[in-house]
Structure 1
Amino acid sequence: MCFETFQQTLEEQLPELAFDVIIRFDENQKMLHDLDNGALDLILTPQIGQHVFKFHAYSVILGLVIG
């Protein structure tokens, strides 16, 4: 997930959460590895890998090319 997408979809909801959120933007494979090892509790990624994790879509982005 790029920083701009995060800002548009999730950033405004962070103050409403009852817990602290530590945000890290990194490579997908490294974050999946850290999630698997317990170093991360949640990752947001546009990629679906070959893992036993459950993937849930939280947002849909529609891009239009006008020319």
Structure 2
Amino acid sequence: MDKLIIGAIFILFTGHTILIMLFTSYVYRQALKNEPILPALTELIKSISKPGKTEDETPQTDLDVEL
């Protein structure tokens, strides 16, 4: 039972480490291309959170409401 718990903790730790490494390499590549990092990251987060939708398919709402 102890080996199972230790194995689960190890897998969680290495999984998070790999995600951090991928994120860091993505930011580094964007910096090498001299592209702004923040818009690129927001596009990356949007593509991860909604893989089936693109930005063009999202409905646009009119925020200029007259009171």
Shorter-normalised TM-score: what interval?
under 0.3
- Structure number having the greater helix percentage: 2
Taking structure 2 as the reference length, the TM-score comes to 0.27
Larger RCO, structure (CA 8 Å, separation 6 or more): 1
Taking structure 1 as the reference length, the TM-score comes to 0.27
